[in-house]
Structure 1
């Protein structure tokens, strides 16, 4: 088996459902594996961490992809992400990221905690009402989606009446972030990109006319001020990115975490009694079943190497974050879920200049929500067979039925 065989297997539904045995095999073969055609697969923790933090390894930009496949630029979903900080390198990426960070501040996130606590309470009330007769409640729909979408929409300034529509649109759009084998599969992603772009075009116009205390107003004002700091297209692309990234990964974090609690009732008991730290539990969920399993990079310079293996310029790298978080060279008993670990530094939020801006918000939401959920429902239990989304990059559940009586 080589790197190409690993990528080929990751394209199958069976392996995507449980990729961890394949990751273990990759570790046996080495932290970096050639995959043919100028491609490499990186699975070692130290190797993935180095690539994420080395500026000479950048993301594949829209221009790069269009050079390889001219039809790339015909897809609005790919073009949208290509204009965002997710798929831009220096100097554009740090320029735009710094503008977003100037309004998406740690203080602003911390100030949201009372609102998060209140939202958690309301959603738990809803779950209690929905499941009062003992019927199953879909945790993903009733809570895991609604909490983070409500929080990020509050931060952005999206009216509550509009929030219901975003789960389906985000699900369609994020297909463009997967390893897409056939660009014709992006029709729904393109439609979602067009609808979200149109929505934020209207919201930006409203906020320019009547500013409020939210991120859309702040970023729209920066773009309107001119000076080349933030273009209109960059504004729209990054607002969509903030929305989608603001709840997609957190939704998966909450769902993956609850599924692990059902498999590890001792962890649930520890959270209920206060002997287990919510932060420690969240870290271990991020490590053990990361909401983000993979990302990509490109070698932007000559003379690069990873773990002693030369990586020529223009080489493409698939970074298996989920595998890195299970690297036996980094973690003792990596296949064991242990929320008491004290040395956990999962790579689930990335690293370097592309480290997730919303990591603090996602952690805070999980650390508030999970203990409150367990406290509210002492007899919380599985309510049926869960279903996983058939994805590699963004790993999570489609449905997770529970009973709350």
Structure 2
């Protein structure tokens, strides 16, 4: 008889720090049957916690992202449209090839100067006050400004978009999620139509509207909405947590912070170790067994749900010795904070760039940076890893 681990029973302690629970599970095996917390609908599914097994699961074509293969339609797919996170090849291949024609590494590289300018402007406003909520003053407005400028979202809309995105990804009240998706769908439709009417623009969304392959293929209206949804939400929610978690981790590991301040060539490694140690995404989005399979000898029946624990896998001692030690000199390559395989995060280069610029600017301009009390309200659910507020002073 399969034992079901009820994650809700670990209470608030699991929400604040899930790593001890994941360590207990890893000690018993790389995959477990779990019941998710109430915030995640108390659904039962398989949870992969071992690094080797998680990496393999992320690349296994038998684990589908398209719930339609087992007769399911996700809320975001129903209300927003088909997008990268709920599609498999060949549809996923087609969608990804169309977005990568416009969202190139070259485009990201050209954004460094503007990201630096935004960071400096935010610090100009924040630093004279002596203390602040890091998220409200810096970690949120930086990536939301970057992604909105990249996609061409009007500045006057960004406050409204923030509330909608919060209610979609980490709602304080799960009952508002459906209505939030409807609001977001309507907003994106209006945004896309405004760009069509305005004519050729240089922002990414305008380019996606007119991107066409040599064979004449292009994104449909529903696919454009889905692409804008993924880019806007994934393009800022995760980066907020990456910046915040990295700062919080550095401030709670003063010897590592001192080492970084003394040698800023360690910055890139610091970002990678922060991604491994306390990444912004705790678990992958759901996968579904399109056929029967085994993971680490455990039979998974066709139609069952599988969740890959990114945070759990990146603290697996079989892959990273002394995994609970934060060490900015560690070779953290091989972590799966951005996923693995064909669904590897499209925005990973931009997220890394924003984190590097943000950390350097903050540490150089606020040499006395310290926590001003504990972080407040860890995000609900098991999808994202972060807090709603991080009080700091300098």
TM above 0.5, yes or no, is yes
Task: Quote the residue 2:18 is aligned against.
Answer: 19
Partners of 2:213 and 2:155 in 1: CA distance: 25
Offset of 1:2 from its aligned partner?
A: 6.6
Structure 1 unmatched ranges of 5 or more = 179-184
Partners of 1:366 and 1:310 in 2: CA distance: 40
Partners of 1:274 and 1:205 in 2: CA distance: 49
Offset of 1:97 from its aligned partner?
A: 1.4
Correspondence for 2:146 among 135, 148, 151 = 151
Name the count of aligned residue pairs: 384
Q: So what's the TM-score if we normalise by structure 2?
A: 0.90
- Aligned with 1:294: secondary structure? coil
Contact map agreement 2:152 2:203 (CA 8 A) in 1? yes
Correspondence for 1:375 among 353, 364, 389 = 364
Structure 1 residues 392, 3: CA separation in 2 closer, same or farther (over 3 Å shift)?
A: farther
Structure 1 residues 38, 21: CA separation in 2 closer, same or farther (over 3 Å shift)?
A: closer
- Aligned with 2:236: secondary structure? helix
Offset of 1:214 from its aligned partner?
A: 1.0
Which residues in structure 2 correspond to 1:8-157 (within 5 Å)? 8-9=8-9, 12-35=11-34, 39-61=45-67, 63=68, 67=71, 75=75, 77=76, 79-80=78-79, 83-129=82-128, 131=129, 134=130, 136-157=131-152
Contact map agreement 2:81 2:223 (CA 8 A) in 1? no
Offset of 1:35 from its aligned partner?
A: 5.0
Q: So what's the TM-score if we normalise by structure 1?
A: 0.87
Offset of 1:189 from its aligned partner?
A: 2.0
Structure 1 residues 379, 175: CA separation in 2 closer, same or farther (over 3 Å shift)?
A: closer
Which residues in structure 2 correspond to 1:2-401 (within 5 Å)? 4-9=4-9, 12-35=11-34, 39-61=45-67, 63=68, 67=71, 75=75, 77=76, 79-80=78-79, 83-129=82-128, 131=129, 134=130, 136-175=131-170, 186-209=174-197, 210-222=199-211, 229-274=218-263, 277-295=266-284, 296-302=286-292, 304-387=293-376, 388-401=378-391
Partners of 1:23 and 1:59 in 2: CA distance: 24
Offset of 1:336 from its aligned partner?
A: 0.9
Contact map agreement 1:45 1:324 (CA 8 A) in 2? yes
Structure 1 residues 9, 330: CA separation in 2 closer, same or farther (over 3 Å shift)?
A: farther
Let me know the Cα RMSD of the aligned residues: 2.6
Cα deviations by residue, 1:28-64 (Å, 9 ceiling, x for unpaired): 1111234599942211000000011122222152x35
Offset of 1:275 from its aligned partner?
A: 5.3
Partners of 1:279 and 1:3 in 2: CA distance: 42
Offset of 1:261 from its aligned partner?
A: 1.3
Partners of 2:300 and 2:343 in 1: CA distance: 21
Contact map agreement 2:80 2:185 (CA 8 A) in 1? no
